[in-house]
Amino acid sequence: MKLVYLGTPEMAVPPLQALHAAGHEIVLVVTRVDKKRGRGGALSPSPVKAAAIELGLPVSHDPDDVIRAVERDGAELGVVVAYGRMIRPHNLAVIPMVNAHFSLLPRWRGAAPVERAVLAGDSETGVCIMALEEGLDTGGVYDCVTTPITDDTTAAELRVRLVEIAADLLVRTLNTPLAEWIDTAEPQHGETLYAAKFAKPDFEIDWAQPAEHVHRLIRVGGAWTTFRDKRLKIHAADLVDGVLVPTTVQPEGKGRMDFAAWRNGAQPTANELFGTL
């Protein structure tokens, strides 16, 4: 099948590589523009762009080039994985598109489905291959694969597993002739929840919340609190009989360290609490 692939971050790389390895002809890769990264401010390509160049695939930053890929190269299908932008109606009008979405739709439509599933304490999530339409993750679903979320699963660990599922599911779906499945998408059923993107304040730990909620936020990644007027990131913690026990922390301006080592160095008094100035 001749494909246009639209994706941007690292999690969109394995599905691109899998489709290429499966023998599909990827006539165009569309990704976000290069960004300034690091202290020097040099422009760096997105992970998908870097992977596409390595595979020898043509790359564009203009989603309107999808139209030219259809007219010039005979592209039959667009595949979207974490592209990061809404696809405009005039592009959807010229080629059918499918999206690998990292949740069990319609639960957690939107930008941060993995993180929201962990924070909500969901016991499972998955990947759905859905038809792309103008609405935000509202299209019909072709197939889904479910995977569990345990009380210790981090968002980072879950993301790796979901990427592997997405790559396999896309290959399995696209290895079937397009005409046999493109019109078979089933409408979404169930409670609709939206996975809003996290902002920096969302990662600040509210110690008034139950320990289980704080533990889930830490598992999302990026959780922080304050200690002696400085920020302290908590990268990992255990939940023991309802009590939160940090295991890996990072003081402001320093690297990660074992919590016991930090405590031995900081020597907090009995009256010093996290989250107070």
Query: Binning pLDDT at 50, 70 and 90, where does residue 158 land?
Result: very high
Residue 277's pLDDT is what? 57
Residue 32's pLDDT is what? 95
Q: Which residue has the higher pLDDT, 276 or 140?
A: 140
**Span 128-143, average pLDDT:** 96
Provide the angle, in degrees to the nearest 10, between the axes of the packed helices 155-174 and 113-120. 130
Quick one: DSSP state of residue 197? P
Does the predicted model carry a pTM greater than 0.75? yes
Residue percentage of the chain with pLDDT more than 90: 95
- Whether residue 124 contacts residue 147, with contact meaning beta carbons closer than 8 Å, is answered with yes
Is there a cis peptide before residue 106, judged by omega within 30 degrees of 0?
Answer: yes
| CA nearest neighbour of 197 among 73, 105, 109 | 109
Q: Report angle CA 123, 11, 222 to the nearest 5 degrees.
A: 65
The pLDDT tens digits of the residues spanning 170-199 come to: 999 999 999 999 999 999 999 999 999 999
**CA 134/CA 214 separation, integer angstroms:** 36
- Whether residue 219 contacts residue 115, with contact meaning beta carbons closer than 8 Å, is answered with no
Query: Binning pLDDT at 50, 70 and 90, where does residue 209 land?
Result: very high
Q: Please give the mean pLDDT across all residues of the chain.
A: 96
Q: Which residue has the higher pLDDT, 120 or 275?
A: 120
**CA 66/CA 69 separation, integer angstroms:** 5
Residue 99's pLDDT is what? 98
Residue percentage of the chain with pLDDT more than 70: 100
Grouping H, G, I as helix, E, B as strand and the rest as coil, residue 252 is: coil
pLDDT at 108 over 80: yes
The pLDDT tens digits of the residues spanning 29-85 come to: 999 999 987 777 789 999 999 999 999 999 999 999 999 999 999 999 999 999 999
Query: Binning pLDDT at 50, 70 and 90, where does residue 9 land?
Result: very high
pLDDT at 116 over 80: yes
